[in-house]
Amino acid sequence: MGIKYQQNYQVPFYESDAFKKMRISSLLAVALQISGEQSTALGRSDVWVFERYGLFWAVIEYELTIHRLPEFNEKITIETEATSYNKFFCYRNFSFLDENGEVLVEVRSTWVLMDKATRKIDRVLDEIVDPYESEKVSKISRPHKFRKIDEFSDAQKIVYPVRFSALDMNGHVNNAKYYDWAADMVDFEFRKSHQPKHVFIKYNHEVLYGEEINALMSWEDEVSHHNFNDGSTQIEIHWGKI
């Protein structure tokens, strides 16, 4: 297991939704910030990785288990740990804890290193990840199976243009943005009585400025399935009654 890193946090107004709960997109954005802070503290900042290797980190998968969403103004602790890695993938966990140490949200994530020039996945070098003290493994974690594109024949459809505000520092759509696009397709009345309990997200291809996002949503019981641009990003949200 790797070195753990913690940061205290108080949920601000601008990261809270209409129900005074922390937005999941904000939760993911803060998780990325905390992981970046640990990398900087260990001498492996994004700048360090790029200047030496021309690479940048990209998240390709998330799995969220939500026991309770943090609330507006609540003081929480965010803990992260880079748990293991192999030649192409790195695995990192996050825990969002309340003031009593109870787990509110658990996040499992999978990361890759991408070449800034070619936009292709590169190998994970020991020199880059050694300071995290995570375990080197040969096994690749089995990804979640999402609904196939041909199962969206009766789907609701929305087109979102990719504007400048959707981009992150790597020049592609910020990964947290996709969750907002997905959840915005869910009926407001339904969301008054339901909240996400389990969320799976997979990013297969990056989307750049000027492109369009073709979003599809279909339902199976209380699970919403979301597909963007023929599978460039896939999201599955398991909803439960509040």
Closest C-alpha among 138, 131, 144, 171 to residue 234 = 144
Confidence of residue 18 (pLDDT cuts 50, 70, 90): very high
pLDDT tens digits for 214-227?
999 999 999 999 99
Confidence of residue 176 (pLDDT cuts 50, 70, 90): confident
Q: What is the pLDDT of residue 206?
A: 86
Do the domains spanning 4-136 and 149-241 agree at the CATH topology level? Answer: yes
Confidence of residue 169 (pLDDT cuts 50, 70, 90): confident
Q: Between helices 175-183 and 24-41, what is the axis angle to 10°?
A: 170
Q: What is the mean pLDDT of residues 133-154?
A: 91
Range scoring the smallest mean pLDDT among 94-98, 115-119, 215-219: 115-119
Q: How far is residue 224's CA from residue 204's CA, in Å, rounded to a whole number?
A: 19
Q: How far is residue 239's CA from residue 195's CA, in Å, rounded to a whole number?
A: 5
Whether 139 shows a pLDDT value over 90: the answer reads no
Q: What is the mean pLDDT of residues 87-109?
A: 97
Q: What is the pLDDT of residue 105?
A: 98
pLDDT tens digits for 181-234?
999 999 999 999 999 999 999 999 888 898 999 999 999 999 999 999 999 999
| Residue % of the chain over a pLDDT of 70 | 100
Residues near 5 by Cβ (< 8 Å), separated by ≥ 6? 34, 37, 38, 41, 79, 80, 81
Q: What is the pLDDT of residue 237?
A: 98
Task: Domain ranges for the chain, please list them.
Answer: 4-136, 149-241
pLDDT tens digits for 35-79?
999 999 999 999 999 999 999 999 999 999 999 999 999 999 999
What is the reported pTM? 0.95
The Cα-based distances of 193 to 41, 174, 189, 198, 241 in angstroms read 42, 28, 7, 16, 6
Q: What does pLDDT average to over the chain?
A: 95
Are 161 and 105 in contact by the 8 Å Cβ rule? The answer is no
Whether 153 shows a pLDDT value over 90: the answer reads no
Q: What is the pLDDT of residue 10?
A: 98
Q: How far is residue 112's CA from residue 59's CA, in Å, rounded to a whole number?
A: 6
Q: What is the pLDDT of residue 174?
A: 87
Q: What is the mean pLDDT of residues 92-118?
A: 97
* CATH fold label, 4-136: Thiol Ester Dehydrase; Chain A (3.10.129)
Q: Is domain 149-241 annotated with CATH 3.10.129.10?
A: yes
